[in-house]
Amino acid sequence: MGYIDHKLSGNEKAVYRVGLHWVMFLGPAIFMFLAGISIPATGTPAIVLFIIAMLWAVLSYVVLLNTEFVVTNNRLLIWTVFPWKKLYDIALVEIANASVYEPSLGKLLNFGRITIVLNNGKRISRRLVSGPYELLKHLSQQGETARDKE
């Protein structure tokens, strides 16, 4: 049960929920590896690299735990905490288009960027979404159902 569950109205139910992908720890891991292999040779700069990598990893962990995408029967809710806490509350009938971009590694590990275009032209894009095509599938199914109700 996440933050978004408290924002649901009485007749609304969460149909699909997803977060960010674990691959966001790849950057800090590479930094730690580089710091680890350079510690015997350089000392202080390697320790600084390691500290930066640790801070990056902690920040990534906080973002991973506190970012969620929830498709309900009426709307899409996106909760992010970095760089600021923000809740995107988008009615499904307001979504004009949604698309997914998966890089090569994303195709292998099932992550990508989802871009949502609203009827007013505003774009919302989030990267490193776990299972973006599954999110897109549920978003389009619930969107069609919401449009049929109107």
What is the separation, in whole angstroms, between the first and last Cα of the chain?
A: 30
Q: What is the pLDDT of residue 71?
A: 93
* Amino acid occupying residue 19: G
pLDDT tens per residue across span 11-23: 888 899 999 999 9
Residue 23, token pair as written in the block: 């691959």
Query: From CA 39, how far away is CA 31, in angstroms rounded?
Result: 12
Q: How far is CA 89 from CA 36, 43, 124, 141, 146, in A?
A: 43, 48, 11, 18, 15
| pLDDT of 63 over the 70 cut | yes
Give the model confidence (pLDDT) of 84-124 as tens digits: 889 999 999 999 999 999 999 999 999 999 999 999 999 99
Tokens at 121, concatenated: 């032209």
Task: For residues 42 and 63, give the distance between their C-alpha atoms in angstroms, rounded to a whole number.
Answer: 32
Q: Which residue has the higher pLDDT, 31 or 130?
A: 130
How does pLDDT run across 5-61, given as a tens digit for each residue? Answer: 777 777 888 899 999 999 999 999 998 888 777 766 666 777 888 889 999 999 999
The predicted pLDDT at position 6 comes to 73
Tell me the C-alpha distance between 19 and 6, whole Å. 17
- pLDDT at position 39, please? 66
Alpha carbons 72 and 61: distance in angstroms, whole number: 26
- Dig out the tokens for 57 from the structure: 């990893």
Top-confidence residue, 68 or 144? 68
- In the chain the domains, ranked by start, together with CATH numbers, are 72-149 (2.30.29.30)
For the cut 70, the answer to whether the pLDDT of residue 83 exceeds it is yes
- Predicted confidence at residue 10, as pLDDT, reads 78
Instruction: Kindly report whether the peptide bond that precedes residue 83 is cis, defined as omega within 30 degrees of 0.
Output: yes
CB 18 within 8 A of CB 68: yes
Q: What are the structure tokens assigned to 73, written together?
A: 């029967």
Taking each helix axis from N to C end, the angle separating 44-65 and 26-42, rounded to the nearest 10 degrees, works out to 170
| pTM recorded for the entire structure | 0.84
Q: Which residue has the higher pLDDT, 147 or 15?
A: 15
